[in-house]
Amino acid sequence: MNAPLQKIEIVLAAPRGFCAGVDRAIQIVERAIAKYGAPVYVRHEIVHNRFVVDSLAAKGAVFVDELDQVPPGVPVVFSAHGVPKSVPLAAQARELFYLDATCPLVSKVHREAERHHREGHHILLIGHAGHPEVIGTMGQLPDGAVTLVETVADVAALPDMTGRKLAFITQTTLSVDDTAEIIAALQARFPSIEAPRKEDICYATTNRQAAVKAIAAECDALLVIGAPNSSNSLRLVEVGKRLGCTTALLVQRAADIDWNKLEHCRSVGITAGASAPEVLVEEVIDAFRQRFEVSLREVTTATEAVQFKLPAALDQPSAKAG
């Protein structure tokens, strides 16, 4: 007779998973394939999730690092993270037909940066060096117009900017708490610095972090489903640890779970980064059910109903890409 399975409670954080910007970007690729036929090229990962990328590749998307890998006469899609202005200019120079899947909330930060620059401000961008969104945002303006700030220590190390008009903007996928500390340091050092008219950290990032805060303290472990290059997913792990859940782990798929770290757990929180589909959450829950007697509970801290329009070109009758 088989021994009874150990009981475990899974506490699901809500909201979790896809945000409106990610959903829009994936739809753009799928609709482009349906309208123009395969292949449709995509510059960089459309979103930071290998499952999503592989699924789109199976439908006819071809992912490339740079535009020089895109042959003439086929559509190309720019990723949800945004691109420097040099990218669409290069596409136009080659007469490539392109669709821009940049999240509208990232585009808002781009326009904000342009406004500050027009008004004569030097811009301090709070973000992570090398992240595609940061590269895209800094690439909206001439070299030297934006200074990247990653930490409170970076604020202290900034040169004297007395007499200069300053403004700050932020990457959309940062830790709400860490960013608040950096903003406070900027405002303490530069009291006249201009803040965004509206919070730059996107609603989905904020909501997913709030949901983790609501469950982390009551869970023995937290699993964040997301990619290692996904900024918002990494921030969810950090938030869980900060709230006292020391076993906070990032996993891409159920196969990545280190079950040894969960063997003494009675409750496990599960969330998913903004680019991780719900099917991966279900896959992880199924993996738990193979090993434990599972009870499920969902904790909802917000309800999301945001939707973004698709590019008009996808609704136009022409079936020709270029």
Distances (CA, A) of 26 to 41, 122, 157, 234, 305: 13, 35, 40, 21, 17
Among this protein's residues, is 133 annotated catalytic?
yes
Which helix H or strand E contains 88, and what residues bound it?
Answer: helix 86-93
Cα–Cα dist 69/217, whole Å: 48
Q: Quick count: other Cβ atoms within 10 Å of Cβ 4?
A: 7
Which one of 133, 150, 181, 293 is the catalytic residue? 133
Cα–Cα dist 25/159, whole Å: 39
Cα–Cα dist 134/80, whole Å: 12
Q: Shortest CA distance to 225 belongs to which of 243, 251, 205?
A: 251
Q: Which amino acid is at 9?
A: E
CB 92 within 8 A of CB 322: no
Chain centre to alpha carbon of residue 152:
22
Phi, psi of 11, deg, nearest 5: -105, 110
Exposure string for 244-261, b = 16+ CB within 10 A, e = fewer: ebebbbbbbebeebeeee
Cα–Cα dist 98/82, whole Å: 13
Q: Which amino acid is at 185?
A: A
Cα–Cα dist 314/47, whole Å: 20
Q: Which residues pair with 78 in a beta bridge?
A: 43, 100
Q: Give the residue numbers annotated as catalytic, written as ranges.
A: 133
